[in-house]
Every structure is written in C-alpha cells, then in structure tokens.
Amino acid sequence: MNHRYFENLLLSDQPLPNDQKHSLRDHLAVCESCAQLSYALSQVEQEFRAAPQVGPAAGFVERWQSRVESQQSTLQRRQAIAMLAINLAAASALLVWGINLLLPSLGSPVDLVSQFLDGFIDAFTSIKLAFGLSAPLLRNLPNLVPLSWWISLCSSFLGLLIVWANMLKQYVFEQGVLS
Ligand SMILES: [Zn+2]
C-alpha cells in the first residue's frame, strides 16, 4: 500500500477532489497507521479551534510607538553628541593652531603663559609707545595693508564663525543635548 500518497492527502491544506476523497476514505478504513494519523490531525485541528485567539496585550501599539520614539531620540542624541564632539575637536584644533601661529616657540604651559603675558605687556607697551610717538605711522597703517585684504580676511573669519555657531546651535540647542 502507498501510505505516503495518503499521508500527503491527509496533510494537504487544499480541499481534495472527490475521487481522492473516496480513495482516502477507503484507505483509512483498512489502514490503521493512516487512520491514526488522520485522527491525530483532527485532534490538533480541534485544539487550534478551541484555543482562544492569542493577540498582543493591550496598549501594544502605544508601547511600540513610544519605544520607537525613544530609540529615535537616543539616536538623535548620540548624533548630536558626536557633532558636538567634532565641533569641540575642531575648535580645539583651531585654538591650538592659532596659539602655534601666534607663539612659534612653545615651551611648557608655564612658559606659554609667561610668554603670553610678556607678549601682552610688550604689545601693550608698544601700543602705548606707538600712540605716543607714532601717530603718523598709525594713521598710515591701513594703507600699509590693502583694504581688500582686511575685508576678505574679516569676512571669511566671520563666515566661519557663523557656520560654526549655526552648527552648534542646531545640534546642541534644537536637539536638546543640554536640556
Ligand atoms: Zn496507510
């Protein structure tokens, strides 16, 4: 007997044509193992029908939405912190670069501070001297450096400052890193 064929008929989830239905019924009448399989299948089907419909617990959609939202805000927070770190690193690099540019011979931090103070005092003294003694030179200073240089230097520095401030504002305040 071809049990395999009848097992396939039993397990089929499609309605059987009449001739297959009849041959299956005939086979189940004489074959104990296929009859047992058929009985077991019908029991399982009954269990499924009797079992209450299992659905998600109440408030599932709300919980899911709030979880997605909190994941999104965590992601935004991380991005904002990363942007802040990048900005701070860039600002620090600029600061270090500027200090290096202004004070070419860097020693220890103490030397740095004393050099800065010395330079500041020197500059102050020089400016005082210049005001006192070199008023004609000061009057001519704008002429020594072309005006277009000053304008382009100032405007590019201002532009950088505005871009940087906007990025900080956008990522720090609008996305709530500090709130
Ligand atoms: Zn059989």
Distance 3 CA to ligand 1 centre (A): 4
Distance 34 CA to ligand 1 centre (A): 4
Distance 8 CA to ligand 1 centre (A): 11
Considering the entire predicted model, what is its pTM? 0.31
Per residue in 87-135, pLDDT (tens digit) is 888 888 888 777 777 666 555 667 767 777 777 777 777 767 666 765 6
CA distances from 115 to 92, 103, 111, 121 (A): 20, 8, 6, 10
Distance 19 CA to ligand 1 centre (A): 17
Distance 46 CA to ligand 1 centre (A): 22
Judge whether 9 and 24 are in contact, CB under 8 Å: yes
How confident is the model at residue 21, as a pLDDT? 93
Q: Locate the domains of the chain by residue range.
A: 3-50, 76-174
Distance 18 CA to ligand 1 centre (A): 19
Distance 17 CA to ligand 1 centre (A): 19
Per residue in 19-65, pLDDT (tens digit) is 999 999 999 999 999 999 999 999 988 888 888 777 777 788 888 88
